[in-house]
Structures are given as structure tokens and as C-alpha cells.
Amino acid sequence: MLPLLLLIIAAHSRMCLSVTVSTSKPKVEIHEHTDAMLSCEFKTEKDQNPRIEWKKKGKGVTFVYFDKKFAKSYAGRAKIEGATLTIHSVTQKDSGEYRCEVTASEDHVNLGEATVTLNVLVPPHVPSCEVPSSVFVGTGLDLLCKDKLSVPPATYRWYKDNKALTATGDAPYSIDTNKGTLKFKSVTKEDTGMYRCESSNSVGAPKSCVAKQLTVVEYPWNMTMLIAGASGFVALILFCCICICICRRGCCKKRRKTKNSKSYNPPPPPPPPPTRNVSDQNSCYQARVCFACVAPGLPLNAVDKLLIAAVSC
């Protein structure tokens, strides 16, 4: 019984000989250009000088602190107290997932780690605004506004002549506050004015671009005539094409009908064989009889003549 108890105590002691690592704040949100403290606490059972490392996870894993030295991008703007990492004057590039690793080679379980996510908040920046200087009456128009730097992403508001625009049901335009677009289906001269856009988020004060003049103008008379002439020319071409198609269909139908209406004329019957009169038949018969009777005593040329006469009969 005593040996078994000692074995259990020894096994429990081996399990206790391990490093433990934790963080008091796994998610840190802090404003840009302030100091970020990423906490990391550890406890070892035996090793009094464990190895401490900090890594940042991005597209790959990069070292922040290794072999008691900071990486080049953190040198001079970060410090280590125990295992807690402090980064001074953080920027948006410092946002990401950090991992604290503590290695105690003398402990039974010699590696422990904790993860801290850093999110650097960025106030609104002056947005870029795209407003054309002039546009023709009746055309569609999109005004664009974008702030690519603010975190969390900014929302947008448009102003005309320093008055905020609101997209009501009867308004001739629509506004996307998340994308920053102001869309007109068909502008009128009443839409002429000074336009600007404002970006805002929960971190800092709103920022606005410089107001830009938008002028809605009528089409010039020569431009109107040119458009009307071009439209008429296109309509004339379409009309001619339709007429040609109709005429071709009519001619084809007429030819098909004429071809089908022609009567079938059978070929003429062959001519009847020539008939022989009775006198010719009698003459032939008489010639054959004479040939048979007198052939033995006739000369050769006479026999030939009689033979030819008989054959022709």
C-alpha cells in the first residue's frame, strides 16, 4: 500500500513540474499613437530563468522579441517587463495577433504560450471626394467619397451648400452611408451647388473634404441638333432595313407560289412505228420467191441485188 501511495505522489509531482502561461487581457483596443501593453504572466515549478519569446502572426509568423533582443522594426519603441510586452506609439500596422511563448527546459512540460490580439483604432482622416466640375442636364451622376485609413471603417454624410442631404422617398438622389456614394438618376439645374463629404467613426472627430462646385448645364444648341440628326439617321437606316426585309419576303413568297402553280406537262408519246402498205409487202414476197427460184443460175452480182432487195423488204 505504501509503495503505491509513493508512486501516486511522484506522478503528481511530475505533473506539477510544468510551466504555465496566461494573459490578463487577451484583446487590446487602443488608439493610434498611444502605448499598447500586451500582458503575459508565467509560472515555472523549477526553472528560474525561462526563455521568453514574442511572435506576431500575419501572412507568416515573425519574431518580435527573441534571444533577449527586439526585431529591427520594434527596436527602440518596445520594452519587456517580465514577459509583458509594451509597444510605444502604435500605428495601424501594429494591429494583429501576438503570441507570448515561455520555455522552461527544466520543467516536465517545458513550453507554455498565450495569445493577445491588438486592434489599433484610427480616427477619421480627410476623405477623398470625387465631384465633377460640370455635367449636362438629364444625365446620371455618382459622387464618390472614401476614407481608407479609419478604424473602425467610417460612415459618410454628404452636404450641399453646407446643408446635410437626406435621402427621403421623394428625393431625386440616393445615399449609401457605408460606401460614401451620392447617386443622381437624372440631374437638373437645381442640383447645381457646392458639394462636400464628411467621414466619421467612434474614435475621433469627423473629417470633411474641401467643398467642390458642381454646375449642371443645358446641352448646347449645336450638340442638340447633332444628337437629333444622329437619332434620325439611325431611325432611317432601321426603316430601310425593315422595308428591304419585307420586300424580300414578298418576292420569295410570290416566286414560290408561281413555281407551285405551274401545271405538269408529261412528255409527248413516242411516234408510232411506220406502217407498210399491202403492195410493198406483196412485192417483197414476190422478190423472195424469185430469189429462191433463180438463185442457182444467176450471176453473183444479180444474186446480190436480189438479196439486198429481200433484206430491205
CATH C-level class of 17-121: mainly beta
Flag whether the pTM goes above 0.75. no
Residue ranges of the chain assigned to CATH 2.60.40.10: 17-121, 128-217
Per-residue pLDDT of 74-84, as tens digits, reads 999 999 999 99
288 to each of 125, 265, 291, how far by Cα in Å? 136, 47, 5
Q: What are phi and psi of 41, to 5 degrees?
A: -115, 140
**Helices 300-312/278-294 angle, 10° precision:** 150
**CA 31 to CA 202: how far, in whole Å?**
11
Per-residue pLDDT of 197-233, as tens digits, reads 999 999 999 999 999 999 999 977 655 566 666 777 7
Q: Which three cell numbers stand for residue 182?
A: 451620392
DSSP per residue, 174-210: EEETTTTEEEESS--GGG-EEEEEEEE-SSS--EEPP
**CA 46 to CA 187: how far, in whole Å?**
78
The CATH fold of domain 128-217: Immunoglobulin-like (2.60.40)
37-41, 209-213, 263-267, 298-302 — which is least confidently predicted? 298-302
